[in-house]
Chain A
Amino acid sequence: MREVAAASRWTVHTEVFDGPLDLLLYLAKRDGIDLKRLVVSVIADSYMAYLDRMRDLNLSVAGDYLVMAATLVHLKSLELLPRMPTLVEEDGEDPRAVLERQLAEYARYREASESLETRPWIGRDVFVREPVARKKGEEIVAGVDPFGLLDIYYDLLNVAEEPEPVIELVGTGPDFRGCCEMVLDALVSGGGKAELGRLLRSLGLRSTRVITFLAVLESARLGWIDIEQAEHLGPVELRLRAPRSEIDLDAITGWVESPGEVDE
């Protein structure tokens, strides 16, 4: 057998056993060994023989199996030696009992997993409908739905049919700092609250609305305001977080003014 394996030079990775306990359980069952009264010498021999066979077949033996092999050899050696009660007492407990209990414990969970296997599984035995609506609270969690923001952004670009400006004055466009200030002032005058859509629609120029939208994002980023949306596609509420007097507009960094706007 060894020659055959050597000649074929195959390395086989297999998950026939899920670890050394699984293998021990199999061997105990095969050899009719009572888990509560392990005959270590018997099961250790079976275990070693099995590992040898795995090696003969050029199966890679994982470290966990070797640790168990060492434990079994150790237990077997204890079994062969005459008992020395003092030593056992010193250890507190018979290491064989520890292994027996571990095996028994593992066997219980194995049984439990087999009973899970036989239950009617979703996607195998039984099928359910997907929920029609989105789960409540799934995507609106004490914050804002980014798509809600995006919708408002598109709305404000499209909604008001803006008359074409007759003359475009360069350099008098909205300035970012000013828009931040305007947002904060609107919040103060609204008793600390404002609705984003209404705020933006109240502004005349599309460019001002765009800059104001960015100013809102910047203010939220700096922790000055909260942006909240209670329900999906619902109104987006802005709320002042800090007293206006404590807000330092010099903290604005999210906007680098273009040269064209600096020279105003």
Chain B
Amino acid sequence: MKSMSEHLPEVLQFPDRPGGVGAEVIAAVEALIFAAGEPVSTRRLADVLELNPDEIRLAIQVLQSRFRGPERGIHLERVAAGWQLRTAPPFGAQVLQMLGHRPTRLSRAALEILSVVAYRQPVTRHEIDKLRGVDSGGVLRKLLDKKLVRVSGRRDEPGRPLEYRTSKAFLEMFALPDLGALPQLRDRVPPEADDAEEFAGEE
């Protein structure tokens, strides 16, 4: 995300020049993103403001670079296929203290299950258990309750087991623009179905 401001076209800094974007557009985009709270897509902004998506993109670039200043406690981030204003990470502890909240916590088991679901979705409960070598039912249920994981359907195989996927809330929770932004798994080898069968036999 840093690359955006570094390559900010000069024209954006001079919105009055042809091809730039007007101050009122920038202000309007800022207002909408602030009011929305949740991530807003470029398309939605364009629809509401009745502007070309390219204009919105330019306005967002300008805003992003302005929010990135060292004196800013709020950043404009690309999250879950939209744009969202978020407090700057260094002040997490202070914000928590002011709100009187306890920090969000996830157990290691929960993070493992989230990773498995995120990288292998859609995935069945049996596949998660097999991969982790331990029962994941209870923790998976908690993740469903927290809406970080959702049921996406049923696998077309005997027993018609439920399939799980990560949710939009998952992307928001971990500040991910989309699933493609997940860090690359180390030396990823596509799991072969045969191996899975064999291990199932050993259990």
Residues of A participating in the B interface, judged by any CB pair closer than 8 Å = 15, 18-22, 62, 64, 67-68, 71, 92-93, 95, 98, 101-102, 105-106, 108-117, 119-133, 135
Contact = CB atoms under 8 A, between A and B. Distances in A.
Contact of B198 (A20, A93, A117): A93
Contacts of A126: 86-89, 92, 175
A102 B116 CA distance: 13
B85 A128 contact: yes
Given A19-B134, A116-B174, A122-B175, 15 more contacts: A15-B109, A64-B134, A71-B202, A98-B195, A111-B186, A116-B111, A116-B114, A119-B175, A123-B104, A127-B87, A128-B37, A129-B37, A130-B37, A132-B35, A132-B36
Contacts of A131: 36-38
Give the interface size bracket for B toward A: 35 or more
Nearest to B112: A113
Give the one of B85, B101, B174, B194 with max A CB within 10 A: B174
Contact of B34 (A111, A129, A133): A129
B131 A128 contact: no
B89 to A, nearest CB: 5
A110 B92 CA distance: 25
B65 interface: no
Contact of B104 (A64, A92, A115, A124): A124
Contact of A92 (B85, B116, B173, B198): B198
A-B pairs with the 3 shortest C-beta distances?
A19-B134, A123-B104, A131-B37
B114 A95 contact: no
B185 A112 contact: yes
28 contacts: A18-B109, A18-B112, A19-B133, A21-B134, A62-B134, A68-B133, A92-B198, A98-B195, A98-B199, A105-B131, A105-B191, A109-B112, A112-B119, A112-B185, A116-B111, A116-B118, A120-B89, A120-B92, A120-B175, A121-B174, A122-B172, A123-B173, A125-B89, A126-B89, A128-B87, A129-B34, A130-B37, A132-B35
Contact of A108 (B84, B85, B172, B186): B186
B101 A106 contact: no
A113 B198 contact: no
B103 interface: yes
Contacts of A106: 131-133
Contacts of A67: 203
Contact of A127 (B86, B135, B203): B86
A116 B172 CA distance: 12
Contacts of A22: 133-134
B43 to A, nearest CB: 14
B132 A113 contact: no
B27 interface: no
B2 interface: no
